[in-house]
Amino acid sequence: MLPAIICHTTSNMKSNLFLIALSVTLTLSSSSNGQDVFPNTVNVAKTGDLVRMKGSKLFAKVPGNYKPLTSLVRYQKNDNTYFQVVEVPNTNFVEYKSKISRQAIESQGAKVDAYETVNYNGFDGIYFEGPSKIQGETKIGLAFGDETFVTMIVGVCLTADKASKNELKNIFSNSYYDKSYQLNPLELANFQVDETITGFKYATTMGNIFFYSPNGKADMKGLLDFSSYQIMPIEAGSFEKVKELLETINSRLSLQGIQTSNIKTAEIIINGNKTFEVTMNVKDKDNRKGKFYQTGIYKEGSNSAVLFIGADNDNGLYFDKIKATAQSIKL
């Protein structure tokens, strides 16, 4: 089983108080058979045959049987076969590639299948593939970038489904990244929120999680040093599923050294939508204190829902405003 490179926000006061997890599981590998499994050079012109993958600057030639699943920010053929594009914030490929080097992966005792350097439309890149933590599943990926950005395309298929793996590789090798494209970072948002209540500004998007902090992008070097909130659109078949997800998130706080107290839950209505509300006091392993306000908002009659997780790290200065912001959300 190959290790996961986790791209997420951990929960610790000041340095990592703020919970929510975007786990973009990327499997990496090392050449085991000495044969190329992916083109050494990808040189694709941006033409009308390529379609932009929403939420990214990537254009690709995608078979018609792959459909966008907006809430999960991926294109899916079926439950077992899909791919997604991940813009990794606050990093660059020059630094990042050392984290996904052959040595870094093998040092974790990973089983590896393929690892190749790639020239991706003029950008340095790495192609990788190998078994995931799920039995019978394979993950493949292409990471590329320069001194200003890192982007990854990650595909998933059944290990036995060689045709789908080749199909995914063909999508990857028939794609183009337009660095100059003016991307609307909120184009995948299925919600409206009143940003004026806290005055927090949009900071970044990771997968389908939208981050807001007092100074927006200016906080990216130390996002977790600030009170902040995150909004994550999800698919949920029922209100009970929304509750279950929030409860699962909170059950894992202790694994990250977070102690919780004074937990209060309620079922409320926000702009006509049934909502599960959670408030709690939190303390990290360094005895720094804060307060969370969370909601899971479910739109009846649809699969649409959003999770809101806000953290006040400033002695209650923002708590009421964070709460009011959550209750301004419209689906």
My answer on whether 50 and 172 are in the same domain is yes
My answer on whether 134 and 63 are in the same domain is yes
Condensed to tens digits (0 to 9), the pLDDT of residues 101-114 reads 877 866 776 667 89
Q: What is the pTM of this model?
A: 0.73
CB environment 121-148: b (16+ within 10 A), e (fewer): bebbbbbbbbbbeeeebbbbbbbbbeee
Number of domains the chain is built from: 2
Q: Give the domain extent around 151.
A: 41-177
- Residue 23 belongs to a domain: no
- Whether the CB-CB separation of 7 and 86 falls below 8 Å is answered with yes
Condensed to tens digits (0 to 9), the pLDDT of residues 55-111 reads 899 999 999 999 998 777 889 999 999 999 988 877 899 999 888 887 786 677 666
Condensed to tens digits (0 to 9), the pLDDT of residues 310-324 reads 999 899 999 999 999
My answer on whether 146 and 223 are in the same domain is no
- Residue 161 belongs to a domain: yes
- Rounding to the nearest 10 degrees, give the CA dihedral for residues 255, 5, 185, 80: -100
Facing residues of 259 across strands? 283
My answer on whether 214 and 313 are in the same domain is yes
My answer on whether 208 and 142 are in the same domain is no
* CA 55 and chain centroid, separation: 11
**Residue after which a domain boundary falls, among 109, 142, 177:** 177
Position with higher pLDDT, 17 vs 248: 248
My answer on whether 222 and 257 are in the same domain is yes
